[in-house]
Amino acid sequence: MKLKTMVATVLLAGIASAIFAQTPSPSAQPSASAATKTTVDALAPAEIDETIRALKSNFVDPNALKDQEINRATLEGLLARLHGGAMLMASKTTTPESPAPFYSEVLGNHIGYIRIGSLTNDNVRAMEKALTDFTSKKVDALVIDLRATSSNDFDIAAEMTKRLVAKGKTLWTVRKTAAHQDRAFTNDRDPVFQGTIMVLIDGETSGPAEAMAAALKAHGQALLIGQPSAGLAVEYSDFPLSSGKILRIAVGEVVGPNGQSLFPGGVKPDLPVELSPAQKHQIFALSMQRGLTTFVYERERPHFNEAALIAGTNPEFDVRQQRRNPDENLHDTVLQRAVDVIASLAVFQKH
């Protein structure tokens, strides 16, 4: 689509969205903005120009179609249509979020679990140590949890991925079309772990973590479990505005090992499994003190028996009383599915 036509399309979408937003639509109907976008996308270039001329000449509020308002509508429409590829930020002085911690554990005596957390050098070292420990404990399967991983550091993401795929493989490429530049990330070292790998992803798996998931699937034959990733596998650059605000623009897109761009489609799971973000965050926080076992494996249910009868107790009632604590009902269904698949593969391989 030519730039002029694209801007006109976005302009019309922005103006129409503002007009429709004044009148709420019934909940049973598609949202006004979604319906408007569908209609605008179906217009031919000549119809777009014709519609804008008609709006300028006939709309009841001429002030809504002054050049400044048209420019605002164009910008609003562009930001909405670029799928997170551009965003306006108040400033760079906002307080940074605390880095998500690294976490590891051995599940079921042979499954190594690694929650990457933030992409930091400290977490790279922690991952190296965990993988070495897993080798000494004869771990034969690995679960890589990317559900709490989002940053814009592709170098650290590559360092982590190198420890899990064969030497010499191209992990991903960051392609900057406007600058005519491609930067390929290639594994130049031997992996620390070789075995069955499961990767957990969801909508909070963002940026370089999405590239990691795609590379592990392509080169490590990893199975992706969970929900689609954020679709923000891009490299950003910040452009300061005169007001102090920041315009953050995606200047490079990640191309996976299969040659396909990960933006804006993201990475899709091989096995879709749902878990609410609120429950996930609770489990992650509690696991730092209590471990993950209680959130993965079902506890054996106690039954009423002769000993309980003599003691005058009812273990079934006691368990029901304990489960009134909300934490007792938390269950990581995504990690559970990964553990189940690993167990099934082990049975299959024995036969």
The 3-state secondary structure of 162-231 reads HCCCCCCCEEEEEEECCCCEEEEEECCCCCCCCCEEEEEECCCCECHHHHHHHHHHHHCCCEEEECCCCC
Cβ–Cβ < 8 Å for 273, 296: no
> Which DSSP string corresponds to 28-43?
TSPPHHHHHHHHHHTS
Confidence (pLDDT) at 349: 75
Q: Give the residue from 337, 341, 335, 297 showing the smallest Cα distance to 196.
A: 341
Domain with CATH 3.90.226.10 in the chain: 103-272
Cβ–Cβ < 8 Å for 283, 98: no
Confidence (pLDDT) at 346: 83
Confidence (pLDDT) at 314: 64
Confidence (pLDDT) at 3: 43
Q: Give the residue from 225, 204, 98 showing the smallest Cα distance to 147.
A: 204
* CATH number of the domain located at residue range(s) 103-272 in this protein: 3.90.226.10
Q: Give the residue from 151, 264, 261, 271 showing the smallest Cα distance to 204.
A: 151
Which residues fall within 8 angstroms of residue 107, CB to CB, at 6 or more apart?
A: 113, 143, 292, 293, 296, 339
Q: pTM for this structure?
A: 0.82
Cβ–Cβ < 8 Å for 131, 190: no
Confidence (pLDDT) at 127: 97
pLDDT per residue rounded down to tens, the chain (351 residues)? 444 555 555 555 554 444 444 444 444 555 667 788 899 899 999 999 999 899 999 999 988 898 899 899 989 999 999 999 999 998 765 566 788 999 999 999 999 999 999 999 999 999 999 999 999 999 999 999 999 897 889 999 999 999 999 999 999 999 998 888 999 999 999 999 989 999 999 999 999 999 999 999 999 889 999 999 999 999 999 999 999 999 999 999 999 999 999 999 999 999 999 999 999 999 999 999 999 999 998 655 555 566 655 666 665 555 455 545 556 689 999 999 999 999 999 888 776
Confidence (pLDDT) at 134: 96
Cβ–Cβ < 8 Å for 302, 101: no
Bridge partner residues of 185 (DSSP):
172
State the Rg of the chain over Cα.
Answer: 26
How far is residue 120's CA from residue 124's CA, in Å, rounded to a whole number? Answer: 6
How far is residue 65's CA from residue 336's CA, in Å, rounded to a whole number? Answer: 55
DSSP code of residue 95: P
Confidence (pLDDT) at 4: 52
Grouping H, G, I as helix, E, B as strand and the rest as coil, residue 86 is strand
How far is residue 84's CA from residue 231's CA, in Å, rounded to a whole number? Answer: 8
Pairing of strands 246-255, 234-240: antiparallel
Q: Give the residue from 111, 132, 260, 135 showing the smallest Cα distance to 124.
A: 132
Alpha helical stretches, state H, the chain: 3-20, 32-41, 45-58, 67-81, 121-136, 154-162, 208-219, 277-290, 293-296, 306-311, 315-322, 333-350
Confidence (pLDDT) at 14: 54
- Which H/E stretch holds residue 270? none
How far is residue 124's CA from residue 160's CA, in Å, rounded to a whole number? Answer: 6
How far is residue 255's CA from residue 181's CA, in Å, rounded to a whole number? Answer: 13
